[in-house]
A and B are shown apart, each in its own frame.
Chain A
Amino acid sequence: MQLSGSDIIVRTLIEQGVDVVFGYPGGQVINLYDSLYKYQDELKHVLTAHEQGASHAADGYARATGKVGVCIATSGPGATNLVTGIATAYLDSVPLVAITGNVPNSVIGTDGFQEIDITGITLPITKHNYFVGAVEDLADTIREAFKLAMSGRPGPVLVDVPKDVQIAMYDYEPYAPVLPDEKQAAKAVRIAQAAQIINEAKKPFVYFGGGMVAAEAQAEMLALAEKIDAPIGCSMMGVSGVPTDHPRFLGMQGMHGHYACSTAMHHADCIIALGARFNDRVTGNRAKFAKNAKIVHIDIDGAELSKTVSAACGLRGDLKQTLQKLLPQVEGAPKPQWMAHIAELRQVEEQGQDKREGMTPFNVLSKLNEHLGEDTPVATDVGQHQCWAAQYVKFANTRRFITSGGLGTMGFGMGAAIGAQMGTGQRTVLVTGDGSFGMNLNELATAVANKVPLVILLLNNGVLGMVRQWQTLFFQKHYSNTMLDARQTDFVKLAQAFGAQASRALTLEELEEALTAAFACDGPYLIDCAIDKDEFVLPMLPPGGSMDDIIVKVGD
């Protein structure tokens, strides 16, 4: 069957099982958009307000579903607007295929109108990228991009298609959806070594990140923790990987992690790290990090082993299969003393819990918890609200906390929440702050246009709270450019102007009313929720510090 290149792109996406793409039209993808028009009954296209929103939406869709997210942009500024979204996906290992148009081959290299070297620009933030110079290569390149995005450690792949290639005709035959490369367990000799280290441990700690979620190794991980009698903690990317109320789960570790979790990890003599990469927000001062622990590190990406902290045993392989082979080799050994210590740490944490009344972050998010369904995705932006959400929001199911962990992209939330909603069909919550929301609030238009059931819980403190917190603690309260009060944005009117519903909550009673209305609304509903500008995210490990320097209360 002879088809145009642009038809081939759309047919290949459909053949690969894509049901929705996010994008924005423009001069060098006008042919592609004509093909999207032609095949609109088979492939839904969601028009965003900005290409960055499209990239975050594809990312949110992928995080919530585990499938490959797809975004489309035109050449030049369209393509560069995807960059932050691609980088966000890269740092969090999210499978994404970005398709960009470019000027025709005859113009490439001449600085043509809206020409940009997007493959060059995205080189360090993609797993791989392609410039498709000939229509013969088009379908296979897109298939390869999907395979690569899913295989091994997932990540974004970009395919740049010049306009003449979209116009050219070529044979197209549909293929079956590509499968990721076959996964393998780590080497048997390494698994035996790991088992030995684990069996010698008196105080083991199971620590997981986004790689555990991607590998769907939850059952195996819980079985391991059960068998060796270990507590479980996670990185921010792991949140929602196990149910929040699981008795072995201590929550998030790291700079703003739960006290019991960070402390337990610090006291452990063996850390079993599963699909986590020990970045600086996790380790603090590397030289002082978990000094008495032997680290058993399992990851699909061999380059993560001993990259930042040295592992006593590094295992490269698929987490699920490796754990399946490891499980019979570890001894079922109860560790009552260690678990008693963990219980004490939990108690200390509970006693230190914020018990103030009123609109504290804890109370606000506890209220939110009452309205969440088991399967409700909760997306965030980046900053204080993100850390509070990671600490306080309760999850029952995996892939339901949608957050930019690695890149820390303010403005991620709106697009990501829309993508997560469309991927899951579930009403979705966005917890955001006035700073982050200000970056990409234009995507309210997308949410309204598509009647996205979206609860936007805007924690409005009139400041860039996370930076302010640092300025308070480490910069003598020099609040340099972190006060937003001069802006005078009325977020309720703003949301209404976009055609969304909205209300303001100054008290917990008003919040309850607003949440009830928002969770019954068939489109986006924004709650402008006032909180104090001097709320802190606690505990906090000061940058470059260790667990010995943990700040649990203000004034410590």
Chain B
Amino acid sequence: MKIFTIAILVNNQFGVLNRITSMFRRRQFNIHSLTVSETENVEFSRLTIQSEGEEVTKQQLINQLYKLPDVVSIQELDPQVTISRELMLIKMRNSAATRGDVRGAIDAFEGKIVDYNRESLTIQLVGDSRKIDNFVNLMKEYEILEICRTGVVSLERGASTIRRVTNL
């Protein structure tokens, strides 16, 4: 099983996200991460989906996506030439005993404290998923109150864009 990332350009209309996820559900494709937003062109939204499976599963998933009339273009993102980022907000218990260690970790991971009070502190961290996983694992040593992650957004390096890659 391999994790793969695909970007999907879709018509920017209500219900389109539902059409995409409905297809994932009924054919039992996994979703590891899903993000969606408007693009440079208001007519289109862009989804970035991370999923998991063998090559045949991936191909079947892409083929099934192409059958949805609202799907404009699909690009499989090769991790070698792709910038992927996600953002996490993590709320930690603020206590005198652990404050120093937590702050040390924040510095090492280049995180940022975006909220601070006597009981808690909230850290913002940006990076690839692995970096964020590592930070979360580190924080498990202390008391995590809440975590919220955006999911992965990805763009290919260089000047090529999704609209130029339409093949099946």
Binding site for B on A (CB under 8 A): 119-120, 123-124, 127-128, 131, 148, 301-303, 305-307, 310, 316
Contact = CB atoms under 8 A, between A and B. Distances in A.
Interface residues of B, number: 17
A523 to B, nearest CB: 42
A127 B66 contact: no
A148 B69 contact: yes
B64 to A, nearest CB: 5
A39 B32 CA distance: 53
Interface of B: 15, 18-19, 22-23, 26, 56, 59-60, 63-64, 66-70, 168
B22 A301 contact: no
A302 B22 contact: no
Given A128-B69, A302-B66, A316-B168, A123 B60 contact: no
A123 B19 contact: yes
Contacts of A124: 22-23, 26
B64 A127 contact: no
Contacts of B56: 306, 310
18 contacts: A120-B18, A123-B18, A123-B22, A124-B22, A124-B23, A124-B26, A127-B67, A128-B68, A128-B69, A128-B70, A302-B66, A302-B168, A303-B64, A303-B67, A305-B63, A306-B56, A310-B56, A316-B168
A302 B19 contact: no
Given A120-B18, A128-B68, 9 more contacts: A123-B18, A124-B22, A124-B23, A124-B26, A303-B66, A303-B67, A305-B63, A306-B56, A306-B59
B88 to A, nearest CB: 32
Contacts of A119: 15
B63 A303 contact: yes
Contacts of A131: 15
| Overall SS of chain B's interface | helix
A200 to B, nearest CB: 25
CB-based closest 4 A-B pairs = A303-B63, A128-B69, A302-B63, A124-B26
B67 A301 contact: yes
Contacts of A306: 56, 59-60
A4 B22 CA distance: 34
Nearest to B69: A128
A180 to B, nearest CB: 14
A310 B18 CA distance: 30
Nearest to A155: B67
A127 B15 CA distance: 15
B61 to A, nearest CB: 9
Given A124-B26, A127-B69, A303 B18 contact: no
A494 B23 CA distance: 44
A299 B66 CA distance: 15
Contacts of B60: 303, 306-307
B42 to A, nearest CB: 18
Contacts of A316: 168
A160 to B, nearest CB: 12
